[in-house]
Structure 1
Amino acid sequence: MGRHKQPEIRDRILDACVDYALAHGLPDRLEPLAAASGTSTRMLIYHFGTRDALLRETLGRARQRQRDFFGELVSPRPDEPYPSTLRRAWRVMTGPAGRPYLTMFGRLREDAEQQLWPGFRREATTDWLRPLEDGMRSIGRPELGTLVLAVVRGLIMDLEATGDASRADQAFDDFLAALALVTTTGTFVVPAVRR
């Protein structure tokens, strides 16, 4: 008679694999995940079936952590104007605590085949829309959630590609200033382009 799988052990192993993947990226082999979780590759296969199944679950758990973490950051607060919430969220998301998520999922978004998570690009494009709409609803403009999402995603991609944090931070601050005008005046004012 075989051993019964123990969900708490499997859960502990998965959390250790997520911690490793966020710090180092998804490995090509199981050995680094086995070492990080204090087990053997044989036990990883026992608990998860295949390498790809383990990697899919690792990505899923990491994404859930990111949703919880970032979701809390972009949630409106009764004592804070929403643009201030967005500014603080941007700093944390692009800072040391948030960068591992951006790096991991940026690589996955760039994966043309997306074998580990088919449909990730679409999901990653839309999963932040509702929290941002809820935040923008707090200032009476839920329809601007799409605009906020587009700016955040675009600047994150820029930051990942260039590493120019000061330029991306300044662009986000400029966007928030424009957003403040929109929410107070009701119109979006585009500055004149100097030639």
Structure 2
Amino acid sequence: MGRHKQPEIRDRILDACVDHALAHGLPDRLEPFAAAAETSTRMLIYHFGTRDALLRETLGRARRRQRDFFGELVSPRADEPYPSTLRRAWRVMTGPAGRPYLSMFGRLREDAGQQLWPDFRREATTDWLRPFEDGMRSVGRPELGTLVLAVVRGLIMDIEATGEVARADQAFDDFLAALASVTTSHGGMLPPETAADTPAARAATGPPA
């Protein structure tokens, strides 16, 4: 009589694989995942079927984590203007907590021939359009959600390509200043930056990991 699979064990293994992939990237072999999950490659195959099936599930769960994390960051708040919310979200997304997600999915987006998630490029855009539209709706300009998304994605790609965080930070702050100028009538003016929040101050701490 065959052994029944235990969903809680499978779930624990998958979480361990996601943690490993965010820290080190997707492995070419199953052994790194097996070590991270403190199990064997045979058990990985038992629970997930094939290496590619496990990789797809790993990407899917990592994406859900990212959507929950980033989605909360960019959600409008009653106690602050939305451009201020965007400034704080940008700092977190491009900082140590957010960069593992950007690196993982940046590589996936750039791999035109990858088969693990063939429709990822489209989904990587549509995933974030609604949250930014909802945020900009809070200042009466939901149609600017596309512009916000384009700027965020473009500057993230710039950081991934060049590592020049301070320059991208300055560009994003310049964008927010322009955004505030067209949303002032809706309470969207940014508060003055503190010295600790300037691009120069952030650059002094080094690029995000």
**Which structure ranks higher in relative contact order (CA pairs < 8 Å, sequence separation ≥ 6)?**
2
In 2, Cα distance between equivalents of 1:121 and 1:112: 9
Give the match for residue 60 of structure 1. 60
2:138 equivalent to 1:128: no
Unaligned runs of 5+ in 1: 187-195
Q: TM-score w.r.t. structure 2 length?
A: 0.88
Quote the offset at 1:126 in angstroms: 1.2
Would you say the 8 A contact 1:103–1:160 is kept in 2?
yes
Unaligned runs of 5+ in 2: 187-209
2:82 equivalent to 1:82: yes
Give the match for residue 140 of structure 1. 140
Give the match for residue 206 of structure 2. none
Give the match for residue 192 of structure 2. none
Quote the offset at 1:150 in angstroms: 0.2
Give the match for residue 167 of structure 1. 167
Taking the TM superposition and a 5 Å limit, the aligned residue runs for 1:85-124 are: 85-124=85-124
In 2, Cα distance between equivalents of 1:89 and 1:185: 23
Quote the offset at 1:125 in angstroms: 1.1
User: Residue type matched to 1:80 in 2?
Assistant: E
In 2, Cα distance between equivalents of 1:120 and 1:114: 10
In 2, Cα distance between equivalents of 1:113 and 1:155: 24
| Structure 1 residue runs of 4 or more that deviate by more than 6 Å after TM superposition | none
Q: Could you list the per-position Cα deviations for residues 111-132 of structure 1 after superposition, in whole angstroms to 9, with x for gaps in the alignment?
A: 1112100100000011100000
Give the match for residue 30 of structure 2. 30
Report how many residues are paired. 186
Amino-acid identity (%): 90
Q: TM-score w.r.t. structure 1 length?
A: 0.94
Root-mean-square deviation (CA), in Å?
0.9
In 2, Cα distance between equivalents of 1:160 and 1:185: 35
User: Residue type matched to 1:170 in 2?
Assistant: Q
Q: Could you list the per-position Cα deviations for residues 140-162 of structure 1 after superposition, in whole angstroms to 9, with x for gaps in the alignment?
A: 00000000000000000000000
In 1, Cα distance between equivalents of 2:142 and 2:185: 16
Q: Could you list the per-position Cα deviations for residues 132-189 of structure 1 after superposition, in whole angstroms to 9, with x for gaps in the alignment?
A: 0000000000000000000000000000000000000000000000000111269xxx
